Amino acid sequence: MFAGIDLTKLSNISTPDRTCLSVYLASPKSVYDLDKQLERAKQVLKRGGEKSETEHFEENAKIIKKHLAQNPMTSGSLCLFSCWILDFFEVYSLSVQVADDLRVDSSPYILPLAELQDDYEDVAVVVADNKKTRIFVVSSAVGGEEEVITGNVKNHVRKGGWSQQRYERRRDKQLLHYAREIVAALKELDQAESFRRIIFVGGKEILRIIYENLPPILQKRACKKAIDLSKGEHVINRDIMELFEEQERQSEEDLWEKIRAEYLRGGLGIVGLEGVLRAAKTGQIDSLLVDRTFKPKGKRCRDCEHLDGPGTETCTQCGSSSCFEVDLVNEIVELVKQSGGHVDLANPIDTLSQAGLIAALTRYKLY
């Protein structure tokens, strides 16, 4: 499961030269084309790289091919990281399909994993009506064990008079007791599991009462949608995913608005690649927001390991011409993860695009 992959650990694996090989396999069929991809990458590396880098690549390729031969890939997607010189090798099975990719760099290529962790954050799901409630956590797009709470709250009655009023009062107490039992289960789950959101779907009446009884800290993480639970599991799951995606897009826009407001008042907001890169290098970024279509290239120096932005041929720190091209967003994500920051890869937002496609909130004011 990619939710448990330690990106901070991976981001700290680094060498001065391109000695790390990262391979992403979309499916078992991808293994058949891997030899061709590896050979092509080796030839490209020979023509434009250091001799030692080609030697490291060959050793990494051997390690990856040996692992796949001993552990045949039968389903799902896979990512493999190898750095022979550091005696580092990691393999992760992925529950969501990724694109085939092969990268040779000075560190593991973690950007696809950062996207998966951002897109499939752990979320608590509550499916409730007046009869029964199911509570479970979806982790890495896979549902966990369910807790079931029974309500058996009776329907409204149409008869008038005192008997109806007594019945309704009794029914209201039943609903309140039922809702508080659900809230108690959520509080307990919050202590045991890590999730940023709670999605409520089901009957409008019980959802309202549950929400009203949630503590403020859980209310801030909750979103709800009244749906007809009799439509079947497929429709319920579709509505849950739609609600999750709506909330994810909204959280991206909320973060951008917060960054923009801070930037306009001269506060903790940074917009544009140059400022974000500078802040990332000094470990000052608390939250990074990047348009997922943004693909800038930078340069890393083999001699002093300095990272430069686009448009440079020689190292701006030591003047060396021994530099190699890097994926700059991946480098920034690594730096943010190393300093304990949060990474959000967003769908296109017009005003973010106009501001340079990348922005951040810093931990303190930059001067």
Residue identified by tokens 């956590």 is: 137
Q: 140 or 8, which is more confident?
A: 8
How far is it, in rounded angstroms, from Cα 45 to Cα 251?
41
Sign of CA dihedral 339, 341, 346, 352: negative
Confidence band for 164, pLDDT divided at 50, 70 and 90: low
Confidence band for 152, pLDDT divided at 50, 70 and 90: low
Decide if domain 121-231 falls under CATH 3.30.420.60. Answer: yes
Reported as half-sphere exposure (CB side, CA atoms, 13 A), residue 280 has a value of 30
**Residues spanned by CATH 3.30.1330.30 within the chain?**
252-367
Confidence band for 3, pLDDT divided at 50, 70 and 90: low
How far is it, in rounded angstroms, from Cα 222 to Cα 135?
14
Q: 231 or 14, which is more confident?
A: 14
Across 81-95, 113-127, 248-262, least confident range:
113-127
Per-residue pLDDT tens digits for 203-251: 999 999 999 999 999 998 898 888 888 888 888 888 888 888 888 898 9
The mean pLDDT of 245-258, rounded to a whole number, is 92
**Residues spanned by CATH 3.30.960.10 within the chain?**
1-110
Is the pTM above the cut of 0.75?
yes
What are residue 324's DSSP bridge partners?
300
Per-residue pLDDT tens digits for 300-356: 999 999 999 998 889 999 999 999 999 999 999 999 999 999 999 999 999 999 999
Q: 199 or 138, which is more confident?
A: 199
Q: What is the largest CA-CA distance in the chain?
A: 92
**Residues spanned by CATH 3.30.420.60 within the chain?**
121-231
The mean pLDDT of 92-108, rounded to a whole number, is 93
**Whether the predicted pLDDT of 157 surpasses 50:** no
pLDDT of residue 184: 94
What are residue 197's DSSP bridge partners?
123
pLDDT of residue 244: 86
**Whether the predicted pLDDT of 156 surpasses 50:** no
The mean pLDDT of 14-38, rounded to a whole number, is 95
pLDDT above 70 coverage of the chain, percent: 91
pLDDT of residue 26: 96
The CATH architecture to which 1-110 belongs is 2-Layer Sandwich (3.30)
Per-residue pLDDT tens digits for 109-121: 999 999 998 888 8
Helix axes 111-119, 328-338, angle to 10 degrees: 70
The listed CATH number (3.40.50.1820, 2.30.42.10, 3.10.180.10, 3.30.1330.30) that belongs to domain 252-367: 3.30.1330.30
161 phi and psi angles, rounded to 5 deg: 90, -175
What the block records as the tokens of 21 is 């090989």
Mean residue pLDDT across the chain: 89
